[in-house]
Chain A
Amino acid sequence: MRMAVLIKQVPATENIKIDEKTGTMIREGVEAELNPLDLHAVEEAVRLKERLGGEITVISMGPPAARRAIASAIAMGCDRGFLISDRKFAGSDTLATSLTLAAGVRKAGEFDLIFAGERATDGETGQVGPAVGRYLGASVFTYVSKVASVEGGRIVLERAVEGGHETVAAPLPALLCVVKEINTPRLCTLAGKMRARRTEIPLLDAASLGIPDAKLGLGGSPTKVVRVMYPQITRNGKIFSAADDPDGAVRAVFDLLREHGAIEEATSDAE
């Protein structure tokens, strides 16, 4: 099985800053980590390799520091990695990113299965995975919660959708955006880390991908961020202490529920 995993390095969730002028995230000087939801994509690829054999290529688009995220995926059991990086990619929206990533995947090889996480915890769009799949002409599956079988050039899998799970099938090559419930990611072993350190991670830049400049980065992005705001989410609500006033607290909640129609009027007389 020839597999690829698309991963993203994201700012560790606590401290994120935005450049007010360009409306894009400031990535320099912020502690970064491998997008937590991508760990499940890496893990699923590694499990399939253990079952069916094959090779896993990790591909990430980002600044040079994203090599660290690629290395940690290799440490979990992937075999090789590519970094897609160029100043020309700066400011890419999801369309430009997907086009660039798809070109990088083609450059990295031919694949039967491509894995991605459900979405990244910074941009939170979930659009890049399916869009890359579309650019590659692969079968596209989002919200994948279980891979049931891969045989005879066909994949059967489950998707977690509103109200339940659907089982669907399509031919390979396929791109799967997996959800967290699909597995529990393993920790890297020391041996894995050593191997990651020895593995070279080649660079794919704009020139090597052969995409016209007009389709790259900010200029190649149909969407433009025009304003960025930092909302305050403090509500200054009413706080009760159950120890001091247990009934008052419960009564306040009850009144509020009744006000919203969650409890019918008549029930207040019944207690």
Chain B
Amino acid sequence: MPNSRGDVWTLAEVRDGAIHSVSWELLAWGRKLADKLGSRLASVVLGSGVADKTDSLIHHGADVVYVVDEPELATYRPDAYNAVLVSLVKEYKPEIFIASATTTGRTVMPVLYVDLETGLTADCTGLDIDPETKLLLQTRPAIGGNVMADIRTPNTRPQMCTVRPRSKRPLAPDANRRGEVIVKRGAAADLASIYQFLSFDREKAVGLPIQDAEIIVAGGKGMKNPKNFALLEELARRLGGSVGASRQAVDLSWAPYSAQVGLSGKSVTPKIYIACGISGAVQHLAGMSAADTVIAINTDPDAPIFRVADIGIIGNAMEIVPKLIDMCPGGCGRKGGEAR
């Protein structure tokens, strides 16, 4: 007897023609939910030339992969993506549908849930199944992490949410896992789009986008000038990390807005966050206090950043950062630090 309850779905994310690792993180969440529900875990892939790239999804935990591989889906076009997803959801009726809280996920899902007339919870950091009701329990921070809320979608399906990138590690891939790949054609009416993709301008920053980075070396006003700020780039390069910045540093044009961490910038969850010359205003802490490990360097012993630090150094970042740079010769560190 097949389970009367629908499957758990994840939206795989395709970047530069490849399955992005956030897709595997989602599968780690999805596996836990599907096992608790006794249902199947499916991943949905939309793109062009992606039909032969589904193995990694199965190896990372998917039981089923739905693929819609059409040239019209080569880039993200909100209307075509939405129409294709609406058709898939209406045909297969998933119980739960989760996407990563990336710029794509945070656009796809808020358009989709309007058409499906269901609930959508943004930027969750925890997901579970309520043992009694079997409902999805969605935990999310709000107001800069000052509040955590548990949210449920009791009456409508699918239960939808976006999940903060790096809130869970992917499962170790198992090359022996087998799954079912279902290739769907997109209906012509669904694929028609009013959107035109014109070009992509890649940012020449050190390392990965900060949302994806395992190590972030971040600087604030305490770095005093752009030349000192450049020291952080050197340290980030040597550690294979990326450069982050406080709002003040961005306002002073020492770093681009894409590097801004905090309430009016990005929320990041790296393994290691090194805060240099950042005092730690509430708005900044909101974006980085979920990091695994925080190292803070600041001259002011009363700086709030020390409250969230695992290691704090009361001292001048301009003197300490060069010492750290000297300790790790160029080129060492983890992989993935190259600008992509």
Report A's interface with B, CB cutoff 8 A.
11, 13-14, 16, 18, 23, 36-37, 93-95, 98, 121-131, 133-135, 139-140, 142-143, 145, 156, 158-171, 179-181, 221-231, 233-235, 237-243, 246, 249-250, 252-254, 256-257, 260-264, 267, 270-271
Chain B 294-340 residues near chain A, CB threshold 8 A: 294-296, 301, 306-316, 319-320, 323-324, 326-329, 332-334, 340
Given the known inter-chain contacts A13-B143, A170-B194, A267-B328, please indicate yes or no for A240 contacting B111, CB distance below 8 A: no
Listed A/B pairs (5) with beta-carbon separation below 8 Å:
A127-B110, A142-B107, A161-B103, A162-B15, A233-B289
The contact of A243 among B82, B122, B314, by CB within 8 Å, is: B314
Q: 3 nearest interchain CB pairs?
A: A242-B315, A222-B119, A181-B257
Contact across chains for B119 and A262 when beta carbons are under 8 A apart: no
Contact residues in A for B320 (Cβ distance below 8 Å): 242, 246, 249-250
Contact across chains for A233 and B145 when beta carbons are under 8 A apart: yes
B211 at interface, CB cutoff 8 A:
yes
Contact residues in A for B328 (Cβ distance below 8 Å): 257, 262-263, 267
The contact of A237 among B212, B272, B312, B334, by CB within 8 Å, is: B312
The contact of B340 among A163, A221, A242, A260, by CB within 8 Å, is: A163
Given the known inter-chain contacts A180-B264, A262-B240, please indicate yes or no for A122 contacting B153, CB distance below 8 A: no
Contact across chains for A267 and B118 when beta carbons are under 8 A apart: no
Render B134-151 as a binary contact track against A, CB cut-off 8 A, 1 for contact.
000100011111111111
Given the known inter-chain contacts A231-B148, A242-B315, A262-B240, please indicate yes or no for A131 contacting B113, CB distance below 8 A: yes
How close is A186's CB to chain B, nearest CB, in angstroms?
Answer: 15
Contact across chains for B148 and A95 when beta carbons are under 8 A apart: no
Contact across chains for A237 and B114 when beta carbons are under 8 A apart: no
Contact residues in B for A250 (Cβ distance below 8 Å): 313, 320, 323-324, 327
Contact across chains for A124 and B122 when beta carbons are under 8 A apart: yes
Contact residues in B for A260 (Cβ distance below 8 Å): 271-272, 293
Given the known inter-chain contacts A140-B78, A163-B203, please indicate yes or no for A135 contacting B114, CB distance below 8 A: yes
**How far does the alpha carbon of A227 sit from the alpha carbon of B150 in the complex, in Å?**
5
Contact residues in B for A166 (Cβ distance below 8 Å): 75, 197-201
Given the known inter-chain contacts A16-B143, A222-B117, A227-B149, please indicate yes or no for A167 contacting B327, CB distance below 8 A: no
**How far does the alpha carbon of A123 sit from the alpha carbon of B143 in the complex, in Å?**
6
**How far does the alpha carbon of A248 sit from the alpha carbon of B145 in the complex, in Å?**
33
**How far does the alpha carbon of A179 sit from the alpha carbon of B311 in the complex, in Å?**
33
Contact residues in A for B257 (Cβ distance below 8 Å): 145, 160, 179-181
Contact residues in A for B153 (Cβ distance below 8 Å): 222-224
8 new A-B contacts at CB < 8 Å, known A126-B106, A168-B196, A239-B309: A13-B143, A94-B122, A95-B113, A121-B144, A233-B145, A234-B308, A237-B311, A253-B324
Q: Which residue of A lies closest to B290 (CB)?
A: A233
Given the known inter-chain contacts A168-B197, A256-B293, A257-B239, please indicate yes or no for A125 contacting B285, CB distance below 8 A: no
How close is B262's CB to chain A, nearest CB, in angstroms?
Answer: 10
Contact across chains for B315 and A253 when beta carbons are under 8 A apart: no
Contact across chains for A162 and B209 when beta carbons are under 8 A apart: yes
Contact residues in B for A145 (Cβ distance below 8 Å): 257
How close is B128's CB to chain A, nearest CB, in angstroms?
Answer: 12
B163 at interface, CB cutoff 8 A:
no
How close is A48's CB to chain B, nearest CB, in angstroms?
Answer: 20
Contact residues in B for A234 (Cβ distance below 8 Å): 307-308
Render B205-240 as a binary contact track against A, CB cut-off 8 A, 1 for contact.
000110110010000000000000000000000011
Q: Which residue of A lies closest to B20 (CB)?
A: A162
The contact of B215 among A128, A131, A262, by CB within 8 Å, is: A262
Contact across chains for B258 and A160 when beta carbons are under 8 A apart: yes
How close is A119's CB to chain B, nearest CB, in angstroms?
Answer: 8
Contact residues in B for A257 (Cβ distance below 8 Å): 239, 272, 324, 328
**How far does the alpha carbon of A121 sit from the alpha carbon of B164 in the complex, in Å?**
17
**How far does the alpha carbon of A128 sit from the alpha carbon of B256 in the complex, in Å?**
26
